């Protein structure tokens, strides 16, 4: 089963869900706001793609962090950050069979499924 992680009111996520529905792909949606990632999942995101890819540095949540925190981020500290601030995670993250795809890309969606 494909899992799609994100935040329901995110426009990119809405576009992603529409794409999967239009292509008749069955999926389970997990909303970060209602079900923040626990440590094993947060670690899996970071291990698969590194914190620089997983964390949205253009978003408000990241920009509100103090410079000391931003400058000290490592893969290890990023796990805690995204657990505390799930809005900071890029959207969508799509999971299938332990593989993760990050961001909206229809070509990659088609190859991934």
* Residues assigned a catalytic role: 10
> Are the C-beta atoms of 92 and 5 separated by less than 8 Å?
yes
DSSP letter at 65 equals: S
Q: Please, what is the end-to-end C-alpha distance for the chain in angstroms? A: 10
Bridge partner list, 2: 27
d(CA 2, CA 25): 8
> Are the C-beta atoms of 3 and 17 separated by less than 8 Å?
no
């Amino acid at each position: 089963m494909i899992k799609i992680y994100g935040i329901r009111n995110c426009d990119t996520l809405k576009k992603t869900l529409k794409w999967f529905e239009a292509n008749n792909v069955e999926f389970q949606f997990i909303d970060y706001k209602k079900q923040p990632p626990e440590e094993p999942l947060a670690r899996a995101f970071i291990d698969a793609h590194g914190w620089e890819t997983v964390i949205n540095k253009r978003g408000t949540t990241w920009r509100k962090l103090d410079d000391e925190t931003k400058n000290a981020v490592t893969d290890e500290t990023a796990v805690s950050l995204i657990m505390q601030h799930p809005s900071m995670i890029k959207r969508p993250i799509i999971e299938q069979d332990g593989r993760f795809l990050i961001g909206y890309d229809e070509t990659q969606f088609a190859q991934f499924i």
